[in-house]
Each structure stands twice: as C-alpha cells, then as structure tokens.
A = this chain, B = another copy of it.
Amino acid sequence: MSAAAKAKRRSPSAKTGKERARTLLETTGLSRYVGFVLRFAHSAVWSDLVKALQPYDVRPVHYSMLLILNAAPGARQQEIGEALSIQRPNLVALIDEMEERGIVRRQPHPADRRSHALYLTNEGAALLTKLKQVHQAHERRLNALFTTEERQSLIEELTRLARLAPDISV
C-alpha cells in the first residue's frame, strides 16, 4: 500500500509514528526544560546548517577553519585547535585533507621551526566566499523566526548559557 493510500485510510484521530513519538516525548515533560529544549533547537538548527553545506562537501568545522584562517593568517595548528576545541592529533588529518583539496596550505613558521603557519589558498578564499553566502542564507532562515529585538535578546541569553562551561566546541 502506498503512503498516500495509507494516509487516506487512517482515521482522523489516528497518529503517524512521528506524531506518536512527539506525543510520547511530551508526556515526559522534557520540552518544558531549558536544557532539553536547547538541545532540540540545536539539533534542528545544526542539521540545517550541515545540510546547507553538504553540496560543497564541507562540514561546519571546515567552514569555521576557513573563517579563522581568513581572520588570522599564519596561525599555528595549535592555535586553530584551541579556538575550535579540536585536539592536536585530530587536527592533523583535517588539515591534511584541506591541504589536499588545495584550500589551505602549511608553511614553515617564521619564528618557530616546530610550528606550521597556516594560510588560505586562493581557492580556499574563493570557497570561503561561497560558504559565507550559504551561511548567511542559513542565518536568514533562523532570523525569519524572530523580531530584531527577539534575536538580540536570544543571542544575549544564549551567551549567558555558554559561559556555564569554559570549553567551546565548533
């Protein structure tokens, strides 16, 4: 039986799986708590961004990295890792990948031969321009849900919450 036929045949009061799931979750009362609603919101918003970046074979972490390299050319891997809360060993593969794609490059650090200075390539800068547009479109989807005042106070309140823990992870 097709989904349409299934929908047609079920009575008005019957519920789909998703509706039942939502109802079941409601009965737990979790949706009345800041913490859990915050998690639901984050999950929805983040997956929207992930989807938006997918056509470019890019995850949010790539985007943040390009942004950082654009804002602070010549940064060391160490610094990038701290800013993005990525441990050094895990950063290596990420940079390897981006270097192979030709969007960033490692150079010898002028003052410290242990370190690499990281830079955007021209291709990286071009990709970043594209990604910024994608990100802006994503943010517009979010902002469409709020008035200017709401948006401002929301950001302020979320910032307060973010200060609860010292670590920030992008």
Contact = CB atoms under 8 A, between A and B. Distances in A.
Interface stretch (A4-12, A42-50, A87-95, A99-107): A42-50
A18 B168 CA distance: 10
Interface residues of A, number: 69
Given A34-B143, A157-B154, A168 B40 contact: yes
B32 A155 contact: yes
A28 B150 contact: no
Contacts of A34: 45, 139, 142-143, 146, 151, 154-155, 158
A25 interface: yes
Contacts of A168: 21-22, 25, 40, 43-44
Q: How many copies does the complex hold?
A: 2
Given A34-B143, A68-B28, A155-B32, A161 B82 contact: no
Given A45-B35, A83-B25, A164-B45, A146 B142 contact: no
SS of A interface (majority): helix
Given A21-B83, A43-B169, A167-B47, A157 B146 contact: yes
Given A32-B155, A35-B142, A158-B40, A24 B71 contact: yes
Interface of A: 17-18, 20-22, 24-25, 27-49, 64, 67-68, 70-72, 75, 79-80, 82-84, 135, 138-139, 141-143, 145-146, 150-151, 153-155, 157-170
